């Protein structure tokens, strides 16, 4: 069983839709949670970084962590075609090593 | 890209040959990482370094070695390339606000 599970999609939505991306993790020792965005043929870039349970908002993006159920989410409001990318969740383990989900491919259609 | 560069960007090599990929940073970060990215597997850690000459294995380290003789350079060597090592390789450094900063990747094809 993978330590971080993420539905790979693909996910296709119309412009303006609210997008919900989700991951589950198995290790209760994970403390830090991240979302990365990766455009085609580019390296991943950090989108959101959270530590505790609860919500963190940055513009149209909201990251949510529920440690009791080991569930992390990313919400994108008013989605734009420029949001089309692969979104990867990640958790931080000991020794500053990240464990990634498989990534969800998102397409926002104009 | 935030002071981290990878070279080469693309490489095609033959089975059985050694290959070295280079990661260079200008951020003076202590931690550096090598990941590979494959469909169905996402990003998987190969090796990482926590200082000059200090390295450790990740989850998919078989067939790979690394070296770090200077803070700014982290080299990944495929000792004898196999077709299963065809992949996109990413180097990363631990960023200032948490998380990692990734390089642009090296696309390696082993034929």
Shortest alpha-carbon distance between residue B16 and chain A (Å): 27
Q: What is the pLDDT of residue A53?
A: 82
DSSP sequence for B30-60: S-EEEEEEETTTEEEEEEEEEETTEEEE-TT
Mutation pick from B40, B100, B107 vs chain A, by most beta carbons of A within 10 Å, is B100
Residue-wise pLDDT for A3-56, tens only, equals: 899 988 899 999 999 999 999 999 888 888 999 999 999 999 999 998 878 899
Distance from C-alpha of B59 to C-alpha of B76, rounded to nearest angstrom: 15
Under an 8 A CB cutoff, do B100 and A46 touch? yes
Residue-wise pLDDT for A83-110, tens only, equals: 999 999 999 876 668 899 999 999 999 9
In this complex, is the C-beta atom of B85 within 8 Å of any C-beta atom belonging to chain A? no
Mean pLDDT of all residues in chain A? 92
Residue-wise pLDDT for B81-99, tens only, equals: 999 999 999 999 986 667 8
Looking up tokens 């990734």 gives B102
Shortest alpha-carbon distance between residue B34 and chain A (Å): 11
For residue B100 the two structure tokens come to 């990692």
């Amino acid at each position: 069983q993978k330590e971080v599970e993420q539905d790979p999609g693909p996910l296709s939505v119309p412009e303006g839709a609210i997008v919900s991306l989700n991951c589950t993790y198995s290790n209760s020792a994970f403390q830090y949670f991240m979302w990365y965005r990766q455009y085609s043929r580019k390296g991943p870039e950090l989108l959101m970084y959270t530590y505790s349970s609860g919500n963190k908002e940055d513009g149209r993006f909201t990251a949510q962590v529920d440690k009791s159920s080991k569930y992390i989410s990313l919400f994108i409001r008013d989605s734009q075609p420029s949001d089309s990318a692969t979104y990867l969740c990640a958790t931080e383990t000991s020794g500053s090593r990240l464990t990634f989900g498989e990534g969800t491919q998102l397409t926002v259609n104009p | 890209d935030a002071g981290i560069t990878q070279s080469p960007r693309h490489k095609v090599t033959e089975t059985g040959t050694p290959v070295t990929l280079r990661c260079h940073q200008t951020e003076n970060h202590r931690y550096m990482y090598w990941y590979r990215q494959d469909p169905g597997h996402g990003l998987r850690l190969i090796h990482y370094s926590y200082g000059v000459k200090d390295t450790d294995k990740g989850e998919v380290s078989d067939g790979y070695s690394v070296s770090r003789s200077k803070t700014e350079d982290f080299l990944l060597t495929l000792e004898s390339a196999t077709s299963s090592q065809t992949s996109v390789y990413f180097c990363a450094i631990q960023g200032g606000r948490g998380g990692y900063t990734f390089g642009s990747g090296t696309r390696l094809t082993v034929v």
